[in-house]
Amino acid sequence: MFEKRKAQGMALILISALLLIGWGGLDWAASEMGGWPEGSINPLHHPSQEAVQELIQRTGLKEINLDRARELLVERYREEGQVLYQLNCRPCHGVGGKGDGPMSQAFRPGPVDLTAPETLARIKEPTVFERLAGGAMGASTGVSPSDAVLHVWEKELGKEGIWKVLLALEELAHPGASKEGQGGEGKVPATREARAAGKDVYAKRCRFCHGPEGKGDGPVADYLNPRPRDFTRGLFKFRTTGSGELPTDEDLFQTISQGVSGTSMPAWKGLLTERERWEVIQYLKSFALAFSDPDSDPYQAVVPMSHPIPSTPDSLAKGKEIFQMMECWQCHGKGGKGNGANAATLKDEWEFPILPANLTKGWQYKGGHNAQEIYLRFTTGLNGTPMPSYADSLTVEERWHLVNYVTSLIRPERGEERVLRPKRVEGSLPLDPNDPRWQQAPALNIPLGGQAFVRPRWQNPSVDQVEMRALDNGQEIGFRLEWDDRFKDVLPAEGEGKEDGLLDGTYARPLASKGKKPKALHDAVALQFPVMVGRGKERPPFFRGDPRRPVNLWIWRADRQEDLQRGLSIEEVNQAGPDSPLSPQPPASQSVRGKGVWEDGTWKVVLLRSHKTGESDLDVQFEPGGTIPLALNVWDGSNGEAGLMMSISSWAEIKLGIRD
Amino acid sequence: MLNFQFSIFNFQFSILAKRGCMGLLATLALAVGLGGIGQAYDEVEVPDGGTITGQVKYVGPAQTLAPLKVTKDPDLCGKEAPSETLLISANGEVRYAVVFLEGISQGKKIDRTKETWLTQEKCHFGPHVFTMVKGTDLSVKNADPFLHNANMAVNGIQMFNFGQPKKDQVIIKRVRKTGLVEVTCDSHPHMEGHFMVFDHPYHAVTGPEGTFTLDQIPPGKYTVKLWHESWKVKGQDEDGRPIYEQSVVLNQEIEVPTKGMVRVNFELK
Ligand SMILES: [Cu+2]
């Protein structure tokens, strides 16, 4: 493939030398040849003479052949493109472009699978370029036009940056590039050849996060919380071996194959062949000295595995008692939401702040949440973290009871339902979030992901789901929003990060990247509606609308509720696109009432408003029988979230009843 | 970051101290002969062995470090705990320094019947500093009626981390690695202890008078080393844990005479 590129590059030297292409001066339509990279019009394939000369000057390689210099330059662009892709595109499209990035679950429609035959392999290069440069907000996907997410990247990366990304994506545009499904021959022996092959896999796939030397310090590392694993200390969380022991090859294979839920580590089974996964294990073991120490042989330290005990009421009761006695709640909280007294001060072996797992969210169990996996966590502990082994404190049977109890805390997985149906009630609507009438209304779980559209973009959101219920008495509509939040944050401060240079990139870096805890800010939530509810599928872009289609936000702030001197705890505002200012409505127009309550790791916030306000140019109007789009923004203060650093959802819908 | 050098193998082994030096890459070439990986020690009769005895003293104005803030379980543990990082008597004698011979490969028999205990009581690891021999057992007891965990890192790499939720529970672990071990409890950020694991028996911890004795040493030339946790507080982290300067290592070259005694004093300044 490289030879082909080289030949093609040579064939086009003349053209490029003559044209000395400026990034803006290309005629896309005329260049469409299809089947890129062979027919690529990417100007980076044809570096200018100046650029080549400059490289020769800079590297001091006077002897270098001009063609070789050009190849090196293209490879450098490709490398830069890969880093740009991993920094900017990976959060949604995934490390390998499969549309399975850590934020892919949050949005509907989800990010495109760039490896699918109908995407890059089919779409003409200029079209891809334009899509990336101009964004796809409101692009015609046919379903819900304004639900597409891709933002305008030209502003961030420039044309050259986008071409670099395309250079990096060429492999995916090339049909047959995927080697998925090969292998199956099992573990490879620890030979020099296997390590060398693993090194290639590592260089292609792993180093962007885990760093060139396995120190967990790749170019993406500072943007992720939790950080990518530093392999040099031989500390691995998910093992079948005792506390402090190394993992077996099979343990590493399991983690690599299934990924680490709730983090940026993807499941590699769809991205690497089985053989590649075994090979990369042989390579990454070379990063930690301990793997070559015969005294540290993990196979001598494998813990015995036994069979689960059925989850009977008796077993659950015993498990609950063990949860109390073992004081699991000191870290994980009485209700298992990861909000115990220790939660605020825990640190990992690298001195980075670390939070105890929220045991009610199965999809956040990093090592998986089947019974055996949970059993292993109790038995072996999670090396490198404060989670200790309980092998010395609990019998095998007791551990299985605890597995059953912890499993019973897991709530149902997030579903696909996106329609909220208010429950019709008589009388005034309850302002108290704990009023039992809220439980009569059907619940809708809305997934959220990081704000990925405008700076500061955010890929480490804390809140990934909000449960919503609605009540309607014919005059007024009420919403109750409930979400997990370990800490009640009520300080009025407005964000951070500038002084630490954390906002320099297209995405913001978490303060944890500096080994610090975020300063506590305040928790908040916003309900977002279109100001005008059109007929059909037309609706504003789901993140704060656009100049033609403004949105109406109801923002509730915990700090102001705590101290009303600080301002309105609930404020109605309008916005016409994320780049435009938030416009608070005048005092006379403020008509939303509400209240928030925080208890044991859970916020419950009620917001009430009459159906009509008489200000249809500012406020959404709830017409009987209507379908109203609704989206959410949530801020977790102790995760450093404020301003545009937040969790957001795409549109859900409220189906209002017909008036009786 | 500490830079730990195992002199025997002549490679540099970078580690991060679990408590402390985050961000500051203080480099210290510790030629600590802790036995290293795979270092063998032969137990032989030592009929004509000599003795090293001495004292560790602090030079300079006496000081006491500020007490540690206790954030949990104040009923039993109080709101503050005295720091044991630097304990100096009125005469300047330093407690809790470790004195040991570097890289000794043969000598007296190891007493494997000696029990090594670490007790968590009133949110405190006791003793604060101790030594033991690789391949022997460490018995860890929780004397408190609530959860502690003993999170141990040897040369910066986690060795054991076990929860110990029951009062008077004893957990026994065979220690299979040599080096400097830091013990912390994640439930009580102020709790901290240290021990050193050797593959030979020539090590001691100074007592309240700063004294130590190493005996039955085969005559010959040795490097005697001193390790002390540190005494300079650089600051504290967001949860009130003090951050210390890197630990201190001192060396002295000495010769142990046949059946004789050699005096070795160390000064911390
Ligand atoms: Cu403790």
Is residue A491 a contact partner of residue A475, using CB atoms and an 8 Å limit? no
**A499's tokens:** 């002084």
Query: Rounded to two decimals, what is the model's pTM?
Result: 0.88
What's the pLDDT at A503?
Answer: 85
Alpha-carbon gap, residue A312 to B102, rounded angstroms: 58
Q: Which of A294, A347, A388 faces B161 most closely, judged by CB atoms?
A: A388
Tell me: the pLDDT tens digits for B56-85?
999 888 778 888 889 899 999 999 999 998
pLDDT of residue A62: 66
Cα-to-centroid distance, A241 and ligand 1 (Å): 25
In contact, A43 and A163? CB cutoff 8 Å: yes
Q: How far is CA B172 from CA B123, B125, B133, B161, in A?
A: 19, 16, 14, 12
More confident residue, B236 or B247: B247
What amino acid is encoded at B195 in this protein?
A: F
CATH 2.40.420.20 holds for A419-655: no
Question: Which residues from chain A sit within 8 angstroms of residue B71, using beta carbons?
Answer: 345
Of B159, B162, B189, the CB nearest to A388: B162
Dmax (CA) of chain A: 87
Strand runs labelled E in B165-205: 169-174, 179-184, 192-198, 203-205
Q: Which residues of B touch A387 (CB under 8 A)?
A: 161
User: What whole-number percentage of chain A has pLDDT above 90?
Assistant: 64
| pLDDT one-digit tens code per residue, B192-236 | 999 999 999 999 999 999 999 999 999 999 999 999 998 777 777
Half-sphere exposure of A345 (CA within 13 A, CB side): 19
Say whether residue B134 is in contact with chain A using an 8 A CB cutoff: no
Report whether pLDDT(A247) > 90: yes
Q: What is the DSSP letter of A50?
A: H
| Confidence band, pLDDT 50/70/90 cuts, at residue B16 | very low
- Residue B242 banded pLDDT, cuts 50, 70, 90: confident
Mean of pLDDT over chain A? 87
Interface check for A357 against chain B (CB to CB < 8 A): the answer is no
Extents of the domains making up chain A: 2-173, 192-298, 313-409, 419-655
Whether B166 and A330 lie within 8 Å, measured CB to CB: no
CB B153 within 8 A of CB A383: no
Is A574 in a helix, a strand, or coil?
strand
Q: What distance in Å separates the CA atoms of residue A471 and residue A121, rounded to the nearest whole number?
A: 48
Decide if A192-298 and A313-409 have a common fold: yes
Cα gap B69→A131, rounded to integer Å: 56
Tell me if residue A609 falls in helix, strand or coil: strand
Backbone φ and ψ of A250, nearest 5° = -65, -35
Cβ pair A592, A570 in contact under 8 A: yes
Q: Are A620 and A636 in contact (CB under 8 A)?
A: no
Residue A35 phi, psi dihedral angles, 5° rounding: 60, 40
pLDDT in tens, B104-153: 999 999 999 999 999 999 999 999 999 999 999 999 999 999 999 999 99
DSSP secondary-structure letter at A271? Answer: T
* Residue A56 pLDDT exceeds 90: no
CB spacing of A326 vs B152 below 8 angstroms: no
Least confident of A185-189, A254-258, A290-294, A329-333: A185-189
Domain A192-298 in this protein, CATH class: mainly alpha
- The CATH number that domain A313-409 falls under is 1.10.760.10
At A594-623, the pLDDT tens digits run 999 999 999 999 999 999 999 999 999 999
Q: Is the pLDDT of residue B23 over 50?
A: no
Cβ within 8 Å of residue A448, ≥6 positions away: A106, A461, A463, A464, A465, A466, A632, A634, A647, A648, A649
Average pLDDT over residues A226-235: 94
- Could you read off the pLDDT of A550-584 as tens digits, one per residue? 999 999 999 999 988 888 999 999 999 988 999 99
Query: What pLDDT score was predicted for residue A499?
Result: 62
Whose CA is closest to A306, among A406, A400, A242, A405?
A400
> Helices A2-19 and A66-88 meet at what angle, rounded to 10?
100
User: What contacts 24+ positions apart, CB below 8 Å, involve B244-248?
Assistant: B244/B19, B244/B20, B244/B85, B245/B26, B246/B2, B246/B17, B246/B20, B246/B21, B246/B26, B246/B28, B247/B2, B247/B17, B247/B28, B247/B180
DSSP A561: H
Q: For residues A393, A396, A400 and A401, what is the CA-based torsion angle, rounded to 10 degrees?
A: -60
Please check whether the domain covering B2-268 is classified as CATH 3.40.50.720: no
- Contact call for residues A472 and A423 (beta carbons, < 8 A): yes
More confident residue, A496 or A402: A402
* pLDDT at residue A184, rounded to an integer: 62
| d(C-alpha B184, C-alpha A483), whole Å | 33
In angstroms, what CA-CA distances link A88 with A81, A103, A317, A457? 10, 12, 47, 9
- Tokens matching residue A17: 């030398």
Residues of A in contact with B5 (CB under 8 A): none
Check B160 against A516: CB less than 8 A apart.
no
- CA–centroid distance, A410 to ligand 1, in Å, is 28
Token readout for B98 is: 């470790």
Where in A120-251 does DSSP place strands (E)? none
Q: Tens digit of pLDDT for each residue in A109-148?
A: 788 888 888 888 888 888 888 888 887 655 544 444 456 6
* Domain residue spans of chain B: 2-268
- Per the structure block, which two tokens stand in for B42? 């032969």
Nearest by CB to A330, from B18, B147, B150: name it.
B147
Which one of A331, A346, A392 has the shortest CB-CB distance to B162?
A392
Query: At a CB cut-off of 8 Å and minimum separation 6, what does A623 contact?
Result: A533, A611, A656
Hey, of B14, B139, B158, which one would you mutate to test binding to chain A, going by the most A CBs within 10 A of its CB?
Answer: B158
pLDDT per residue over A298-351, tens digit each? 999 999 999 999 999 999 999 999 999 999 999 999 999 999 999 999 999 998
Centre of ligand 1 from the C-alpha of residue A399, in Å:
22
What confidence tier does A183 reach under pLDDT thresholds 50, 70, 90? Answer: low
Mean pLDDT of chain B: 84
* CB neighbour list of residue B215: distance below 8 Å, 6 or more residues apart: B49, B51, B52, B108
Taken in order A529, A534, A535, A541, the sign of the CA dihedral is negative
pLDDT at A145: 43
Q: Do A393 and B162 make contact, defined as CB atoms within 8 angstroms?
A: yes
